[in-house]
Amino acid sequence: MVMRRPGATTIAEVAERSGVSASTVSRVMNGRFAGDPAIAERVRVAAAELRYSPNHLARSFAMGQTSAIAFLVPDLANPSSQAVLASLSSAAAADGYRVLVADSAESAEDEPLLAADIRRRSDALVLCAPRMSETELIRCAESLAPVVLLNRACPGLPAPTLSVDSRAGFVSLTRHLYGLGHRRIAYVEGPEGVANRNRINGIGDFRAGVEDLDLVRVPGGGTSEDGLAAVDAVIASGVTAVLAFNDLVAVGLVHGLQERGVSVPGQVSVTGFDDIPFARFMSPSLTTESVPHQMLGQLGWARMSSLLRDESPDHDLVFQPRLELRRSTAAPSQT
Which pLDDT tens digit goes with each residue over 78-135? Answer: 999 999 999 999 999 999 999 999 999 989 999 999 999 999 899 999 999 999 999 9
**How far is residue 67 from each of residues 84, 97, 100, 281, 307, measured CA to CA in Å?**
20, 5, 10, 38, 14
Length of the chain in terms of residues written: 335
**How far is residue 299 from each of residues 8, 145, 150, 231, measured CA to CA in Å?**
33, 18, 9, 38
Output the pLDDT for position 21. Answer: 85
Residue with the bigger pLDDT between 329 and 26: it is 329
Alpha-carbon distance 139 to 158, whole Å? 9
User: Which has the closest alpha carbon to 142: 174, 112, 167, 109?
Assistant: 112
| CB neighbour class for 288 (10 Å; exposed up to 12, middle 13-18, buried from 19) | buried
Under a CB-based contact definition with an 8 Å cutoff, are residues 213 and 189 in contact? no
pLDDT, one tens digit per residue, over 143-153 is 999 999 999 99
Amino acid at 118: I
Mean pLDDT of 192-213: 96
H or E segment and range at residue 300: helix 293-308
Alpha-carbon distance 335 to 322, whole Å? 32
Output the pLDDT for position 28. Answer: 81
Q: What domains are defined for the chain?
A: 1-64 (1.10.260.40), 65-165+292-320 (3.40.50.2300), 166-291 (3.40.50.2300)
29 pLDDT more than 90: no
Strands (E), 68-166: 68-73, 98-103, 125-128, 147-150, 161-164
Output the pLDDT for position 64. Answer: 56
User: Which has the closest alpha carbon to 333: 271, 283, 268?
Assistant: 268
Output the pLDDT for position 9. Answer: 73
